[in-house]
Chains A and B, each alone.
Chain A
Amino acid sequence: MERKLSVLILVYTILVVVSAISLYLLGERRVDVYVSLNILSYYVSYAVMRPSYTSRSVRLLNIVLFAVFTVIVSFRVYEVLTS
């Protein structure tokens, strides 16, 4: 289990570093883009590695991150619709 967890953290960190550096070099200034890509990176690594056993706090983290991602996407969709 610990090996899976380590690989999950490694994959997640690599994805976050790559996405954050790329966005910064591309001149992206919107904070929510960084946050949403970070959350996406987390879910991609979680789906790929999928640790067999999770604690209550990890399940809560998954819910919170999903809620934050939903709010960001909803806000963007709302902006597109009202513009």
Chain B
Amino acid sequence: MNTRLLILGLNTLVVSLLLVVYGVLVGDNGLVGVAVSLGIVGGVLVVYSTTPQDPSIIALTSYSEILVNATTSALEDLDLLEPSICAIRRADLTLLVYSKTPCPVEVDPGLGFTSGSPYLAIPVKTPIELTESSSEPAVTQLERNLVTLLVDEYSACRSVRVEEEGGFVRVYITGLAETLRQYCERPVDPYALLVLALASSILGARCIRLVDKKATPDGLILVLGVEGVGEKT
């Protein structure tokens, strides 16, 4: 929320209201027209004051850069530049795991070996406070929370759509932020990581795997494979 813009908009609305009253009292319809026009400007300013501000996306970009640089060198050393990425749900946190084995069972945060192959597990907490509704399907809840996180909170994209198809969840992300678009080609992609972290919290599955990631002219399509729904973690 941009407080300065909000105050400016509200002040403009008040001034326009006073002008409307004055215009009506003196019977000057032209003045009423100007005042109503001013009121619309005030309304537009108030609405635009609610759009996300740059600091969120700047902070996310800065954090992504640090994470990508640090993690990519670790992945290079582990020969995991084309890894299988998945989110494994634990009792209180989610582990984002890079490994050659899809959905490894026993992993701990950090670097390690499982089934003879190396892995890198990054512990993450749910990025936002989830708004859940028991009457809604999980996919709808996921879409709503992704919109809140990626569009409203970070302004990292223009829109998000989620569809469930044949046991897979497809996430369509359009209008990517220019500053984050460069990371889509990298092994550590903030979009994929945020989607996996949130999907893991909402879908309640033991493991959510990034099956496919396609770049489109306008955005990104992520295909998630959900495994072990309802299993205890």
Which A residues are CB-close (under 8 A) to B157?
A: 53
Cross-chain contact of B30 among A27, A37, A39, A54 (Cβ < 8 A): A27
Instruction: Kindly report which residue of chain B lies nearest to residue A34, judged by CB atoms.
Output: B33
Asked whether any CB of chain A lies closer than 8 Å to the CB of B44, the reply is: yes
**Given A53-B177, A56-B152: A2 and B53 within 8 A (CB)?**
yes
A38 pairs with B37, CB closer than 8 A? yes
Which B residues are CB-close (under 8 A) to A5?
A: 48, 51
B48 pairs with A9, CB closer than 8 A? yes
B interface bracket (residues with beta carbon within 8 Å of A): 20 to 34
A interface bracket (residues with beta carbon within 8 Å of B): 35 or more
Which A residues are CB-close (under 8 A) to B53?
A: 2
Cross-chain contact of B48 among A20, A27, A29, A58 (Cβ < 8 A): A58
A57 pairs with B47, CB closer than 8 A? yes
Asked whether any CB of chain A lies closer than 8 Å to the CB of B213, the reply is: no
B30 pairs with A1, CB closer than 8 A? no
Give A2 to B54 CA distance when docked, in angstroms: 6
Most chain A beta-carbon contacts within 10 A, residue among B33, B41, B156: B33
A52 pairs with B57, CB closer than 8 A? no
Instruction: Kindly report which residue of chain A lies nearest to residue B40, judged by CB atoms.
Output: A38
Asked whether any CB of chain B lies closer than 8 Å to the CB of A73, the reply is: no
A24 pairs with B30, CB closer than 8 A? yes
A34 pairs with B34, CB closer than 8 A? yes
Which A residues are CB-close (under 8 A) to B142?
A: none
Give A53 to B57 CA distance when docked, in angstroms: 11
B54 pairs with A1, CB closer than 8 A? yes
Cross-chain contact of A20 among B33, B43, B155 (Cβ < 8 A): B33
**Given A9-B45, A53-B151: A20 and B29 within 8 A (CB)?**
no
Which chain B residues numbered 9 to 52 have a C-beta less than 8 Å away from chain A? Answer: 29-34, 36-38, 40-41, 43-45, 47-48, 50-52
Give A2 to B156 CA distance when docked, in angstroms: 13
B30 pairs with A58, CB closer than 8 A? no
Most chain A beta-carbon contacts within 10 A, residue among B29, B41, B45, B50: B41
* Binary flags per residue of B177-192, CB closer than 8 Å to A gives 1, else 0: 1100000000000000
Which A residues are CB-close (under 8 A) to B52?
A: 53, 55
Instruction: Kindly report which residue of chain A lies nearest to residue B8, judged by CB atoms.
Output: A9
Asked whether any CB of chain B lies closer than 8 Å to the CB of A61, the reply is: yes
A-B contact pairs, 18 of them (CB 8 A): A1-B57, A8-B48, A9-B5, A16-B37, A20-B33, A20-B38, A24-B33, A28-B33, A34-B37, A37-B37, A38-B36, A53-B155, A54-B158, A55-B52, A55-B152, A57-B50, A58-B47, A58-B48
Q: A9-B44, A55-B52 known; 7 other A-B pairs, CB under 8 Å?
A: A1-B57, A1-B155, A8-B48, A34-B37, A52-B177, A53-B156, A58-B51
